[in-house]
Amino acid sequence: MNATDAPARPTLLDALPEALALADAATDVRGAAQALRAFYTRMRVVVVDAFDMRDEVPAAIGRNVQLYFAATDGHCWQVTADGRQAAGFFVAGKG
């Protein structure tokens, strides 16, 4: 089997519906982050204030939370629209 035969590695874009369901089942934003961290143990999850995210486009909007894809260059983290580049989520309440 060569590299072109290997199955594609799942991305956070693929995991988004499941991640939103997990986060939205929590009673608050911190609980949502805790649930995501427990399920996606290798992923970074950061709670952010909804006001600070007002100019960003969420990757998903649930009943209680908004999820944003987070990408890193190895040092700094930023919001990205590209779920294939994402290495984590920013989680905010619905502001």
Per-residue pLDDT tens digits of the chain, which is 95 residues long: 455 565 555 688 889 999 999 999 999 999 999 999 999 998 999 999 999 999 999 999 999 999 999 999 888 999 999 998 999 999 999 86
Residue 69 amino acid letter:
F
Q: Is residue 3 situated within a structural domain?
A: no
The SS3 call for residue 55 is coil
Q: Is residue 1 situated within a structural domain?
A: no
Which residue range(s) make up the domain with 55?
12-93
The pLDDT value recorded for residue 2 is 55
CB-based contacts of 53: which residues, under 8 Å, 6+ apart? 66, 68, 79, 90, 92, 95
The pLDDT value recorded for residue 74 is 84
To the question of pTM greater than 0.75 for the whole model, the response is yes
Q: Is residue 2 situated within a structural domain?
A: no
Q: Is residue 53 situated within a structural domain?
A: yes
Domains in the chain, number: 1
